[in-house]
Amino acid sequence: MNSSSTTYHGLFLVNKDAGMTSHDVVYRLRKILGISSIGHSGTLDPIAQGLMVMLVGEATKLSQYILEGNKSYQLEMQLGVRTDTFDITGEKLEIKNADISTSSLQNRAQEFSGEKEWSVPIHSAIKVKGKKLYEYARQQEEIVPPKKIMKFWDVEFLNREGDLVQFHLHCSKGSYIRSWIQEFGLSLGCGATMTKLVRTSSVPFNLKQSLSLHEIENEIKENRQPACFVPLSQALPETKKIRVKGLDHKLLKNGQISHDLKLKLIQICDPQIDRLMLVTSMATEPLALIGFEPKVGFSIRRVFHFESSKN
């Protein structure tokens, strides 16, 4: 098995190295697999490392659904330093003495669980008036960063060495760890900035399932399917599946749901829980993703076609 004879449709769980941009990861994986249709389910700053869920081939159609998962991170902050980027790569704005006990840090951290409305870091990719925030920062244009609802939980103190402190926490999609550190530091009175960040999970996947790009490349060269590859049929593990054949199969490929298939979907759908269902062939090849909305019913969200995704 190698990139010249295999077409992948699914997810690659990549352990990104610090120093790489998210675009770098996409570029490298394209070269390794010989496939152009590759995206990702959420960027990581160059300073950050850890899990990136890469979408390959027809799995790129799942982007918005993979993105919805909660995340978890291991972070390191330096107390007594504030920067304009909220991380150690930025310009230092203030340096103070951080004479704070470890027990005080642990107690204060518990107050930083729950739902918060905080400003987005000015050095981020969120758009304001059609322009990314970091573009305003680079051009030294005045802009007030928008505030955003962020949610954090299971905040766990890990270690402290002098002014360097490590925590692990979980957060909702779109929450900014740099904002959490910034606000935490301000509450201590000494300030804090991020020095390291590792994404440890992107629900339902975790860092232990991932491989580095170097490891993936070696597996491909050895004609082995990398252990970090998740087939499209398993990319949404919590989504109910239903198998079809014959006319239902044909109609789905044409973007239609038969009356019989709707009846089958009604039987397996829990209207209080299920918003997506994956329809497969009898051979478990994914055919379509069907959504359900109360008072609206079933509709096709994605149809999968397994032609080659290579250049």
Beta-carbon contacts of residue 103 (< 8 Å; ≥ 6 apart) = none
Distance (Å, whole) CA 176 – CA 189: 20
Contact 276, 102 (CB under 8 A): no
Q: How far apart are CA 229 and CA 243, in angstroms?
A: 23
Phi/psi region, residue 81 (left: phi>0; alpha: psi -120 to 50; beta: rest), is beta
| Coil, strand or helix at 7 | coil
CA distance 64 to 298: 18
Q: Which of 225, 283, 307, 252 is nearest to 57 (CA)?
A: 307
The 3-state DSSP class for residue 50 equals strand
Distance between CA atoms of 263 and 23, rounded to whole angstroms?
44
Q: What's the first-to-final CA gap in the chain, in angstroms?
A: 18
* 293 burial level (CB within 10 Å; 0-12, 13-18, 19+): exposed
Tell me which H or E stretch contains 54. strand 48-56
Q: Which of 17, 24, 45, 99 is catalytic?
A: 45
> Cα–Cα distance between 244 and 307 in angstroms, integer?
20
Looking up tokens 């070269």, which residue turns up?
31
Question: Do 51 and 14 meet the contact criterion of CB atoms below 8 Å apart?
Answer: yes
Catalytic residue list contains 45: yes
Catalytic sites, residue numbers: 45
